Amino acid sequence: MPDVYRALGDSTRRRILSMLQQGDKTQKEIVDAFEISQPAIKKHLNILLEERMITESLNGKYRIYSLNYDVLQAAYHEMLQYFEKLLDDQLLSLKTYVEKGEFRDEQD
């Protein structure tokens, strides 16, 4: 499973994913959308490729990048499950706290 947090933990990578949501892009199109160097953009693209969030294909001398929807969907469901469990644990703790009435002692 991809490391979603590594892939999405940087605003540049999130912006690249947003661009690709509009359609496939060449590396040049991606580089031109940023005010950072081509090697810096390539590093971000490599991270997204390593985490399989995007795919790369060659069309002549051009590298074309696309979203990998299958991996993105799986990552989305994984994150949902994580947050559901986190919220369930927090709600259970709150329920236990309220049922014990411990908050009343703190108010007095």
Q: What is the pLDDT of residues 24-66, one digit of tens each?
A: 999 999 999 999 999 999 999 999 999 999 999 999 999 999 9
Q: Are 19 and 96 in contact (CB under 8 A)?
A: no
Q: What share of the chain is helix, strand, coil (3-state, %, to 5)?
A: 70, 15, 20
Q: What is the mean pLDDT of the chain?
A: 88
The pTM score is 0.73
Distance of alpha carbon 24 from alpha carbon 54, whole angstroms: 10
Q: What three-state secondary structure class fits 8? A: helix
Residue 54: what pLDDT? 97
